[in-house]
Amino acid sequence: MAQPCKTTCGTGCCGGDYPNCGPDLRCWTKPCESVCGDTCCGGRYPNCGPDLRCWTRPCETLCGDTCCGGDAPLCDGGSCRPGTSGGDGFPTNLLPGNYELIICISGTIALPCQGAGMIPFQSLAQFKAAITSAFDQWLAATAGTPDCTRGAATYSGFDGSEFSATATATCGEATATLRITVRHL
């Protein structure tokens, strides 16, 4: 016997054990405000973090067992503190060496996280250009049609180990988020 319809969702209907319609037009067990990897954030945990887990507060940078963001975005010895990561948000305190890129795509279309190679840090300008190029290529491929728009890239602070860069594309009712985790090797 089919579950009773509680909520219209896209061309279908949500009910029974999955009564909540998400922004991806799929039915979820709990309130769903934003798709986060292969889950959905909402209710008490509305914020998607760089680890693709849902958090109670804005989450930009993993910091030990917590996540920093909002009014306290910087990680300092396992505690979050107020501050900015500088300029347009791209971290300026990167260490010399090589960095691994891990790319995750979530949203209406989701792809599992995968390694995307390594970038040597030679200068801040060169490094930022490489990250920006990765975004531009993905966004041009996904948001290159007339009904698509792209959001600005945002960056978490560098915690001495990694930072993340995030951008979104919206095409009609479909959305996708590209998150690049940049990890110091």
Alpha-carbon span 37 to 41, nearest angstrom: 10
Strand pairing report for 27-28 and 39-41: unpaired
Q: Which region among 25-29, 136-140, 144-148 has the lowest average model confidence (pLDDT)?
A: 144-148
Q: Is 32 left (phi over 0), alpha (psi -120 to 50) or beta?
A: beta
CA angle 46, 44, 164 (to 5 degrees): 35
Which one of 123-127, 149-153, 161-165 scores highest in mean pLDDT? 161-165
Length of the chain: 185
Q: What is the pTM of this model?
A: 0.52
Instruction: For residue range 11-70, list pLDDT tens digits in order.
Output: 889 988 889 888 888 888 888 888 887 888 888 888 887 777 888 887 777 777 788 777
Helix (H, G, I), strand (E, B) or coil at 27: strand
Dihedral of alpha carbons 166, 86, 55, 21, sign? negative
Domain spans of the chain?
7-81, 97-184
Our measurement of the distance from residue 158's CA atom to the centroid of its chain's CA atoms, rounded to an integer in Å, reads: 15
Q: Rounded CA gap, 91 and 104, in Å?
A: 20
Question: Token digits for 78?
Answer: 């396992």
DSSP β-bridge partners for residue 151: none
